Amino acid sequence: MSKNVLIIYSELDGLHCECGNGEVRTGDGLTYKTFRYFWTDRGAKGKALGCCLKCNSDLQEPEHRVAPADKKADLLATFGQPAQ
Ligand SMILES: [Zn+2]
């Protein structure tokens, strides 16, 4: 198990991991191939939990972050704008 953190960048689609893995959901079920990601009803409001399958990170609630300015252009080119 790694301690890498899962990240959802505020202006970008998809899920990212500190190990460098990142993926946009695809297919009819909008699923990830390299992340496990699901909704749980645990807690008052429920929450999303996920883990990265590439570095085998701990199951966790993804952090919401603003994309770093120096990486934003690259991330946008790779992952695009979120669907409106
Ligand atoms: Zn990872």
Beta-bridge partner residues of 22: 16
Is residue 84 scored above 70 in pLDDT? no
Note the pTM of the prediction, 2 decimals: 0.82
Distance 44 CA to ligand 1 centre (A): 28
Predicted local confidence at residue 65, as pLDDT: 94
Query: Residue 58 C-alpha to ligand 1 middle, in angstroms?
Result: 10
Residues 67-80 have pLDDT tens digits of: 888 888 888 888 77
Tell whether the model's pLDDT for residue 82 goes beyond 80: no
Which protein residues have their CB within 5 A of the ion that is ligand 1? 4, 17, 19, 21, 52, 54-55
- Closest by CA to 4, choosing from 65, 68, 52, is 52
User: pLDDT of 34-65, one tens digit each?
Assistant: 999 999 998 788 999 999 999 999 999 999 99
